[in-house]
């Protein structure tokens, strides 16, 4: 980044309309594809957690991802986390299934055994069938 470049995230952006044309995202159609921006966002998040003063992040990290996230994307994210932050471990999980599991346990008192999980996002909607308590990935629809 040049000296005049500044990273502002979330509420640190005082006027979104004034900078809308220069905004960058790490996503391309809901998949992380710009890992330099992703690293800036992780730096920002870790700094706000008070972890930026450490030479490494000494905590395991859980990353949520869309269903059927390409292995390449996961590999790039793992490389970023292990090499730039020296995290001890990374776990990945499908974002919609995390939410469905939590909601099912809270509402029904048990994990979801059968049903459809509908995930509506900024770019896409996904339908994820759950059969016998497991994702039926072959019948997922986007």
Question: What is the mean pLDDT, run by run of 10 residues, along the chain of 142 residues?
Answer: 61 76 71 86 89 86 91 94 96 95 94 94 89 95 90
∠ Cα 83 73 30 (to 5°): 125
| pLDDT of 115 | 95
Residues contacting residue 89 through CB under 8 Å, at least 6 positions apart:
60, 61
| Nearest partner of 13 among 46, 44, 51, 42, judged by Cα | 44
Q: How far apart are CA 87 and CA 47, in angstroms?
A: 15
d(CA 12, CA 20): 14
State residue 94's pLDDT score: 94
DSSP H/E element including 4? none
Report which DSSP code applies to 141.
Answer: B
Helix (H) or strand (E) holding 81: helix 71-85
Q: What is the C-alpha to C-alpha distance for residues 7 and 24, in angstroms, rounded to an integer? A: 10
Q: Are 87 and 81 in contact (CB under 8 A)?
A: yes
């Amino acid at each position: 980044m040049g000296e005049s470049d500044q990273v502002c995230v979330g509420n640190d952006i005082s006027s979104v309309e004034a900078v809308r044309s220069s905004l960058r995202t790490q996503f391309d159609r809901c998949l992380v594809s710009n890992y330099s921006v992703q690293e800036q966002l992780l730096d920002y998040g870790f700094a706000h957690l008070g972890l930026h003063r450490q030479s490494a992040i000494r905590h395991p990290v859980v990353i949520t991802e869309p269903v059927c996230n390409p292995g390449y994307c996961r590999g790039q994210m793992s490389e970023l986390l292990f090499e730039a932050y020296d995290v001890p471990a990374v776990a990945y999980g499908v974002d919609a299934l995390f939410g469905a599991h939590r909601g099912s346990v809270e509402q029904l008192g048990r994990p979801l055994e059968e049903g459809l999980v509908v995930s509506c996002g900024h770019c896409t909607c996904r339908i994820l069938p759950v059969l016998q308590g497991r994702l039926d990935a072959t019948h997922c629809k986007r």
